[in-house]
Structure formats: C-alpha cells, structure tokens
Structure 1
Amino acid sequence: MITFVIFTYNEEHRIEKVIKNYQGYGKVVIADGGSTDKTHEIARSNDCEVFIRPKTNHVFVENKEVLDALYEILTTEWVFLGYADEHMSKDTLEKISEVVASNKFDAIKIYRKNYFYGDFCNDSYKSANNRLFKTWAYDFTDNYIHGMGKQTVSDDRIYNLPPQYFIHHFIDCTLDSHLSKINRYTDSEQLAHSNLKSKTSIFYFFYLIIKNLVKNYFFEKGYKTGFAALSLAELTIFYEIVKNIKIYESQHQITDETIDKKNNLHRMEILKDFINTSPVDDKVQKGNLKNGKY
C-alpha cells in the first residue's frame, strides 16, 4: 500500500480535487505548513489525516527534519511525495500500483509534465524524479531545493516508469506570483550553492537561450503550445540568470551598503567642482563628501 503525502499551505481551493485523485489507490496524508484557510477542515471531511510540518529554516519541504517527523506517523512502506498543483491519470495510478505490488523495486522514477497558463506544454520542461519510494530508499540529509534526496539503493531497484505515464503539473501562476516564487527559490539556491563559481560569461547566457529555446521549446515540442511554452522558457532562463547573479553577489560581498560606498566615490568626483572656493568651506565640504553626507 502507498501513502500519498500532499504538501500544502492554504490550499482550500485545490486540495479536495487532489484527495479525490489519489483516494482508492492508497492512504492520503496532508502535510500542512500551518494553513489559515479551510485546508484542514476539507482534508478531514474527506477522511484524510492532517500532519503539521515542523518549522525549519528551509523554504522547501523536502528536507530531513520534515521527512523524519513525517515517517514517524506513516503506516506504509511506500510513500509518494506530492503537491496540491499535481494530478495523476487513472492509468498512471494503476501502473504504479502494479509496480509496487510486484515487490521487485524500491523506488519508481516518474516523469512530470507541465501546464502553463492552463495549456499543456507537451514534453517541454518535463522532469523525472523518484517521487514514489520506500521510506529508506532515499536520504534527505543536506537536500537542496528541487532535490529528492540521495539514492541509497542500487539502480536495478529503481523502476523507470514509461513516459506515457506521468504526473500532470498545473502551474497556477501569473507573472507576478511566478516572480515572487523565483525570488524565494533563488534565495535558497544561493545559500545552497554559495561555494560554486557563479556563471557570468556571456557564452553561458547564450547557452541558456540555446538549451531552453532549442531543446525545450523546439525539440520537446513546446512550440505546439505556443505562447505559454515560450513564456515558460523565458521565465526558466530568467530563473537561472537571477540565481547566478545572487551567487555572484554573495561571493563578492555585494550589498546595498557596499554599492552605496562605491557610488559615493563617483558622487565625490562629480561634486568636487561644486565645492566653494573658501578654504574653510572647502575643507568642511570635502569632509562631508568623504563621510557620504552629500
């Protein structure tokens, strides 16, 4: 049997549909981050257990502290980590149930395919992750955003689900909300990857364009979706650029204060021609300039 864990925060508008999607194929547990809307009420009215996630210093939920606490309440060996913006079709759920029942594997790698602006983006930006696994098959120590832990089992114990079976990922974001998410996630990535060298070369910028537009938009048939897939490609490029800029700022200790100090040197150079000719005033004003009072 599988426990479908759904991570939530204020998901009253979506959570019932997700619960109904998975019920019948296993137990559904809502792993909630302290919702203030009717998420808990709706979950319990649909016979779901509500687990309140422990507070951590991470902006992502796939961390060791949360999962260790979660595993303590699970009664099944298999766990699926899911989100309120995802669904699976009946044939996909039946296929994973068949693989689990075979008892030949410890994890199942599943593709996730995207919808943007309400349009299916085909294979554009599809990803494959081990989202369904036995609780001991992955170690989430020092996990990072978008990561699904470190594999602790051999490759032959992982079943690769054929690509016609996949998770439907509904990106319910306008540009404003997507930009807010990009800012939060890149803050976390900057902390996690601060030891890496930032990629600031113009060639890397062109590489991002080629990778995202040629590979994801054309080869993976995002062009069939049109503007929605193109927008997703542009935002993905922007995400990588923002992440690298933040890593660069961290490594070079660039802050509002350090920028202002450098700018003050330029201000002083501009204002030196405006200083009064009086020796006393000149001395005072130079001192003010040096102290950044202008």
Structure 2
Amino acid sequence: MVDVSVIILAKNEEEKIGNCIKSCLFANEILVIDDGSTDKTVEIAKTLGARVLHRSMNGDWGAQQTFGIRQASFDWIFFIDADELCTPELAKEIEDVVTRNEQGEYWIKRINKFVHNKATHGVLRPDYVSRLMPKKDSYVEGYVHPAIITPYGKKKLKAHMYHYTYDNWTQYLNKLNNYTTLAAEKYKKDNKKCGFFKDIVFRPAWAFIKMYILNKGFMDGKMGWILSVNHYFYTMNKYVKLYYLYKSNGKL
C-alpha cells in the first residue's frame, strides 16, 4: 500500500468499475467521483473500499477531475477511468515512484481493447496518457478531451495499462453522438471558425487518411476500415453540429 489517491470519474459503470478498483488496491485511497449513477456503481465502489463523492459533471471533464484533485487525501494522484485496468507491473512502478517521491508528470502507455475484434492500429493504436503526478499545483481543464496542467517535467513509465473501449456498437455510437455534441459546443464557446468545405468536406477526409493509412488502420482488416470510417464521421459530425450552431445564431 502506498500513499497515492486514485481518482475515478464514474456514471453507471457497474459492469467495469469493480475490476478497475481491484486493479488499484495498491493505493491507500481510491476516490470515485460519481455523476448521478442510477445502477450499482456506488454500491460496488463502496463495497471495495472506495470513498465516493457525488457531483454533477455537466459535460465538463476538466472541472470534475480538478474537483477530484482537490478532494484527494494524499500528495500524489493517479487518474484512471472506470473502463481501464492498472496492470500489476504498472502498480509496482507507481509504488516505486511515489515511495521515492520522484516528482514528475508521468505518462503511461495505454493499450486499447475492443471487445468484438482485435485492433492495434489506427484509432485503437496504443497511446500515452498523463495519469500520475503530485497533487500540488495540478489541475485539469477542457471538456471532451481535457488537458492536465502541472508544473512538473514530463516522464514516461515503462509498464502499461489496459483500456476496454466499448462493449457494443450501440454504446460506441451513442458515445460518438455525445462527444461530437460536446466538441461542437466547446468549439463554439472558444469561437472556433467553421467553414463548410474546409471543415465538413476536407477535414473528415484527412482524418480518415490519417487513421487508415498513416496510422496503419488497414493492418486491422475489416475492423480497421470500420473504425477509420467511423472516425471520418466523428470528425464530420462535430463540425456539422458546430456549423449549424453558428447558423442557428445567424453567424453563417
């Protein structure tokens, strides 16, 4: 056990949060910030020893994570999503860093897993995410893809974590719809410009090329094609929604 606060944002995650928490039992605090779950998420978390706080997210991931940081009991924090698992190797590495108090913003390799098929390129290629850092002077800002702000130098851990992306296509497409709406609203708030040909015609095509060809989505066969095409539509739809947000206000 090590003095680090694990922070998990959750809403209706009864199928996954148990395994997530169990993978983090190396920590002396597991803090779940619950966004109004109506299933057994809270019950499961408490049964496994987590401290649960209730707060409405309202689409603002950054504010929710910053709230978690402020509520953390220890000087080190580790972010993990309810659909992720910390591997034993990663847990040991985190213990070592925190015990030695080696200050830094630690990035961790995340291996994405899709329940239906194996895909390791394109959209589901492994990525690095910022997850472990001292609590002091750290905060998060942003809606759909929040950015963690810290004064510490960036470092990488050797061990990896797992991310179990989607259980079914309905969940996948519902999330795509929700994320594109939030992205469009954020872009509008930031006064991001939107042109029909540049952003709705050409930008999605480039997004597909980048995922399918440059990031080798083609190596994942049928699934690589499906996910790359969906990335095309994700990119297009967030700009379509932004375009019509402006149009409804008479700005286009």
Please confirm whether the aligned pair reaches a TM-score higher than 0.5, indicating the same fold: yes
Range with bigger deviation, 237-246 or 91-100 = 91-100
Verify: 1:183 aligned to 2:145, yes or no. no
Corresponding residue number in structure 2 for 1:101: 99
1:39 deviation in Å?
Answer: 1.8
Q: Could you tell me which amino acid in structure 2 is paired with residue 128 of structure 1?
A: Y
Gaps of 5+ in 2: none
Verify: 1:10 aligned to 2:12, yes or no. yes
2:80 aligned residue (71, 79, 82): 82
SS of the residue corresponding to residue 252 of structure 1 reads helix
1:89-121 per-residue CA deviation (whole Å, 9 max, x = no partner) reads: 111222232233332323211222211234443
Task: Give yes or no for contact 1:88–1:166 (8 Å, CA) kept in 2.
Answer: yes
2:194 aligned residue (195, 198, 214): 198
Corresponding residue number in structure 2 for 1:36: 38
1:180-233 per-residue CA deviation (whole Å, 9 max, x = no partner) reads: 111211111111112112253344343222101012234xxx62x433333222
Which is strand-richer, 1 or 2?
Answer: 2
Q: How does 1:112-131 map to 2 (within 5 A)?
A: 112-125=110-123, 126-131=126-131
1:96-152 per-residue CA deviation (whole Å, 9 max, x = no partner) reads: 3223333232321122221123444325433322122222343335x2311223x34
Change (3 A) 1:69 1:212: closer
In the superposition, the TM-score normalised over structure 2's length comes to 0.84
Change (3 A) 1:124 1:75: same
Change (3 A) 1:22 1:120: farther
The percentage of counterpart residues that share the same residue type is: 24
1:246-293 per-residue CA deviation (whole Å, 9 max, x = no partner) reads: 1111223279xxxxxxxxxxxxxxxxxxxxxxxxxxxxxxxxxxxxxx
Task: Give yes or no for contact 2:203–2:235 (8 Å, CA) kept in 1.
Answer: no
Task: Give yes or no for contact 2:7–2:68 (8 Å, CA) kept in 1.
Answer: no
Please tell me whether Structure 1 or Structure 2 has the larger radius of gyration of its CA atoms. Answer: 1
Task: Give yes or no for contact 1:117–1:228 (8 Å, CA) kept in 2.
Answer: no
Q: Give aligned pairs, total.
A: 241
Query: Aligned partners of 2:169 and 2:28: how far apart in 1?
Result: 35
Corresponding residue number in structure 1 for 2:156: 160
SS of the residue corresponding to residue 84 of structure 1 reads coil
Task: Give yes or no for contact 1:107–1:133 (8 Å, CA) kept in 2.
Answer: yes
Change (3 A) 1:75 1:139: closer
Task: Give yes or no for contact 2:69–2:77 (8 Å, CA) kept in 1.
Answer: no
In the superposition, the TM-score normalised over structure 1's length comes to 0.73
Corresponding residue number in structure 2 for 1:212: 211
